[in-house]
A and B are shown apart, each in its own frame.
Chain A
C-alpha cells in the first residue's frame, strides 16, 4: 500500500477524477439552468419527448453512451474531424474525452436539479416582480435565480459525485491509459484485472471521500432549498 502512494499514475488518476468532477459540474450549470427552466416553466408540444431524450444518459448503458460519443466525436466522423482540423481538439484517447463523457452522463442530474429548484420558486413572485416593472431578465436574475441558488449548488455536488463514479462511457471514449486518461474507477478496474489488489486501497479511500462528500453536500443544500434530501423524511 505504501509503495502505491509513491506511484505517480495513482496520483494522476485522483487528480484527473477531481478535475473531471469539478469541471463537468461547472460546465453542466448553464445547460441545467436552461433546460431546467424550460421544463419547469414552459409547456409546448413535444416537451415529454425532448425531456426523455435529454434524460436518456441516466438509464442508457454508459458503454453505449460512450459509443455514441465515439461515433459523433471520433476523428473519422465529420464533426470530429472538423473539430480536430479547425481547433486541434480531440476527445478520443485524451483526458478531454473523460471530461466529455462525465458531462454527458451526468448532465441529466443537473437538469433535474434545476427543474426542481425552479419548481420550488413560487411563480407568483415572478408575476409580482414583473408587475413592479422588472422585465423577464431582471426578474430571472433578481428573483428566480437567487431563490433557486441552493438547488443549483445541490445539483453541482450531485453532478460531481456522479462524475467521480463514471466508468463505461469514459473507457470507450478516452481509453484507459495510466498517466493520460486514467481516472480513479479505471485505475481500480486495471488493478483488480491485473491482480494488484494490494495497491487499490488509496484509490478506494479517495473514491469514497469524493462520492460521500458530493452526496452529503448535495443533501445539505437540497434541504436548504426546501426540497427533501435523498435520505430524509419530508419535513412536517
Chain B
C-alpha cells in the first residue's frame, strides 16, 4: 500500500509544489495556517485538479498531467473527514453512515466500526441533535464504511473539547491498526501527531520542508514554536494494580510506579493516559510533606527552548516525560543535561483517555 504524489497546483497567488510518499500507517501533515495543507488534501481527494504532476494510489493513477488523466472523486476511493463534520443534515445518523457503504460490506465490519466509535445509540438521531464529538465520530464512521484506500483528515478534532479529542484520536489509532487503512492526518497539534503518526510532513508556504519521524521533526527542529496548544505527554502504560479503596490505578513506567485517579470495576491490562507538560513540577531535591501522589526520580535528557517556555525531557523508568517550565525557573534551578531531578505529578493531573 502506498500513496505517491508529485504535484503543482496554483490557487490564485498561492502555489503548492510538493512531492511525497505515504505508506501504511498514519502520516501527519503539519504547518502554519495557509501553508497548503488543505489544498494538498483537496488535490489528493480529487476536489481540486492540480495543474501539473502525478498522483498514484497503489497501482491506480488518480491524476497524471502527462496522460491528461484525472479520476473523478467518486472513483478514487479516498475518504475525507473535515473539521466541520459535514454530515448530511436531512438524513439520520444511520442514513449518513450507510450512504457510501459498499454492496459487499460485511455486516460484521459495519457492526465493529459502529461499536468502536460507540455510535449505536445515535443511529436514529438527526445530525442537528448531536454534540460536536458525536458528530465527528459519525463523520469518521461514514468515511470508513466504503472501505477507502486512503483516509484524509483535515484537523478533525480541532474544534472539540480535550476529552472528545483524546477519545477520537485513540479510536483513529485503533482503526488504523485493526483495518489497515492508511491515514493522512492534518493537524496543528504536536501531541496529536506525536501520538498518532509514524511520519510527519512539515509544509511551509506550499513546499515540503521536512519529512521524518515525529520525534525528529518536533524535538530537533524549531517546530515547537508553532505550537498553539498545551503540550501533552500521551502514554500507554501497563496496569500494575488497581487500588479500589483509594480509587487509584498504579501504572508501570518501567520499574517506577505512577498513580493516577481512576475507578472502574474492570481490570484493564493497559491504560492510555495524558499528562500535560505544564502540570508536572520539577524539584532538584526530594520533597517531603506534599499532597501530590507521585514524586518520581528522573534524569534530564534534553532541553528545548521555544518562545516563552522551556521544555525539559526527563527519563523516568523506561519512559520519557516532557515538562514545561518558565525560562526563569529553568535558570534559577540551574538545570542541565544528565542531572537527577524529581518530578512531582498529582494523581488528578493524569487523565485516563479510554
Contact = CB atoms under 8 A, between A and B. Distances in A.
Dominant SS at the B interface? loop
Interface in A142-156: 142-143, 146-147
B13 interface: no
B74 A131 contact: yes
A122 B82 CA distance: 13
A46 interface: no
A132 B90 contact: no
Interface in B123-149: 142-143, 146
Contact of B99 (A122, A124, A129, A135): A129
B214 interface: no
A127 B4 CA distance: 22
B161 to A, nearest CB: 24
Interface string B191-221: 0000000000000000000000000000000
B86 A132 contact: no
A162 to B, nearest CB: 29
Contacts of B268: none
Given A124-B86, A147-B90, A135 B80 contact: no
Contacts of B100: 131-134
Contacts, number: 52
Interface string A102-143: 000000000000000000001011011111111110000011
B73 A130 contact: yes
B28 to A, nearest CB: 21
B45 A131 contact: yes
Contacts of A124: 82, 86
Contacts of A143: 88
B57 interface: no
Counting contact residues on chain A (CB < 8 A from B), the size range is: 10 to 19
Given A124-B82, A127-B47, A127-B73, A134 B99 contact: yes
Given A134-B99, A134-B100, A125 B142 contact: no
A131 B73 contact: yes
Nearest to B99: A132
Contacts of A147: 89-90
A135 B74 contact: yes
Contacts of B45: 127, 131
B327 interface: no
Contacts of A135: 72, 74
Nearest to A132: B100
Interface in B64-96: 72-74, 76-80, 82, 86, 88-90
B72 A125 contact: no
Contacts of B102: 133
A163 B76 CA distance: 47
Interface string B37-48: 000000001110
Interface residues of B, number: 22
A130 B86 contact: no
Nearest to A121: B89
A133 B88 contact: no
Nearest to A122: B86
Contacts of B73: 127, 130-131
Contact of B72 (A122, A128, A130, A132): A130
B80 A128 contact: yes
Nearest to B76: A131
A132 B79 contact: yes
Contacts of A136: 74
Nearest to A125: B86
A3 to B, nearest CB: 53
A131 B80 CA distance: 7
A135 to B, nearest CB: 5
A139 to B, nearest CB: 8
A26 B230 CA distance: 58
Contacts of B146: 132-133
A128 to B, nearest CB: 5
Contacts of B82: 124, 128
Contacts of B79: 131-132
Given A130-B74, A132-B99, 13 more contacts: A122-B86, A125-B86, A125-B88, A128-B86, A130-B46, A131-B45, A131-B46, A131-B74, A132-B143, A132-B146, A136-B74, A146-B90, A147-B89
28 contacts: A124-B82, A125-B86, A125-B88, A127-B47, A127-B80, A128-B82, A128-B86, A128-B88, A129-B99, A130-B72, A130-B74, A131-B74, A131-B76, A131-B78, A131-B100, A131-B143, A132-B74, A132-B99, A132-B100, A132-B146, A133-B102, A133-B146, A134-B74, A134-B100, A135-B72, A135-B74, A143-B88, A146-B90
Interface of B: 45-47, 72-74, 76-80, 82, 86, 88-90, 99-100, 102, 142-143, 146
Interface of A: 122, 124-125, 127-136, 142-143, 146-147
Nearest first, the 5 closest Cβ-Cβ pairs linking A and B are A132-B100, A130-B73, A130-B74, A133-B100, A128-B86
